[in-house]
Structures are given as C-alpha cells and as structure tokens.
Amino acid sequence: MATLIPDGLIVFPAIDLKNGQVVRLAEGDMNRATVYGDDPAAQAMIFADQGAQFLHVVDLDGAFAGASVNGDAVRAIVERFPGHVQLGGGIRTRDSVERWFDLGVSRVVIGTAALEDPEFVRGVAGDFPGGIVVAVDARDGMVATKGWADVSTTSAVDLARRFEDAGVAALLFTDVGRDGLLKGCNIEATVDLARAVAIPVIASGGVAGISDIHVLSLHAKDGIEGVITGRALYDGRLDLAAAFAVAAAAA
C-alpha cells in the first residue's frame, strides 16, 4: 500500500468496469451503460501517457454483487499503471481490503459497508493509515448503497461525521443524480460537506468540463482534495492536460 500525497487538487481519471469493459453509466443505472473500450489496462496507460499519476477504478458488477467481479481487469490495470490506483466496488470484507493492498492498490473505497458496518471501516482505517476512502454516495442528500440501487434514511453529512475520528484518508462524495450526465458537479453540496467535516473530500458525479475543475480548485482550502472525471474525458469535453494545469494551481 502506498500513501497518496496530494499536490494541489488531484484529478482522478475514472475507469468503470462492467463485464470486463470500460463503461460509463448514467445515474448509476447498469441498463444505461455506454461502452468506451474492451481493454481497461490500455485505457489506464492512455491516461498515464497524458500525465495521470492517480486513477479511480470501480468494479461496477462488484458493487452490485458485494464482491469482486472484474478482478482480472483490475489486476491488469494495477500491474501496468505506474501511479496510484484508487479502487471501489464491492469491497466489504477485511480479506478483500487486504488482498487489494497486497496487489498494489493505493487506496480502497468502501461505500455500502460504511453504512451497514461502520466498525469494520473504522477497524481497517486504523490498520491501513491513509488507505481507506469512505464513499458518500447521495441521492437528494440521502445515502445510496448497493451500487446506488438502495436509498437509505441517513444523510450524507451524518454518514461522514461518523468517521470524523476514524483515520479515513478521504470522503468520496458523489451526487448520484448527476453522475454520468455531464450536468456539472454539485459543487455546493460537495463544498458544504467538506466544510462540515475535517476529512478531505473528493468530488465526483457530473463533471462537464474545465469549469468544474476550476471552481473546485478554488475550494481546495475548504477541504476539497480531488475530483473524479469520466464521461467528460471519454466524450472529449475535457482535456486532461488542461485539467491537470488548472488543478495544480490549487497547490
């Protein structure tokens, strides 16, 4: 496990995996998937060649299954990508956390288990300093779990505050209603969350272009650590080099 050391706002290109392919979903709906390629490791290297030092990978099938499904694709990415890989999707046991760290993942993202088994998350956060990210996925402000299929009665802020003293590396906040739709990141909700807790926050969901990166970079002082972007990159709406340049200005 390698600890991420942020330098300015981190831009995480996203690789979402479904049936071994690179896809993007609309609002987390598995039936609304756009396929962007069938070689995830090659896509990781494209991002590396464009200067990416950090990568966000999600096993979408695993998020629904509750266990790794696209493990072979993840391993291929980790083996080839020269930087840090942050992985989420179906990671709900200590064994799975340990296995991914042993294979070279830098951070694991835990979502459903953060709501259903917070003591598990607190335990691994203490045992793997700097390695655990808690996913705070929200639909209309309420936490969504199990691949966003279920919506709880717990607010995003309340969930985040449960881990205030747990030693988690960051919170990954996604507005599910914007994810994959290029509507623009929910900056207000993201900043509100960052101001409500002492844990760094990574923004996700709906990034439409360079303006989202710019505005988020202005809030780095509020606790915004990074931003994840997927469809905007794949559709050519966001130039990765330009995103890195804007993000670096937050340092």
Positions marked active-site: 16, 137
Which helix (DSSP H) or strand (DSSP E) does residue 150 occupy? strand 150-155
SS3 222: helix
Distance, in Å, from the CA atom of 32 to the CA atom of 4, rounded to the nearest integer, reads 33
Task: Give the closest residue to 109 by CA, choosing from 54, 72, 29, 152.
Answer: 54
* Helix %, strand %, coil % of the chain (to 5): 35, 30, 35
Name 17's bridge partners.
22, 59
Helix residue ranges, H only, the chain: 40-49, 60-65, 71-80, 94-102, 112-116, 118-127, 156-161, 187-196, 210-218, 231-234, 240-248
Q: What's the length of the chain?
A: 251
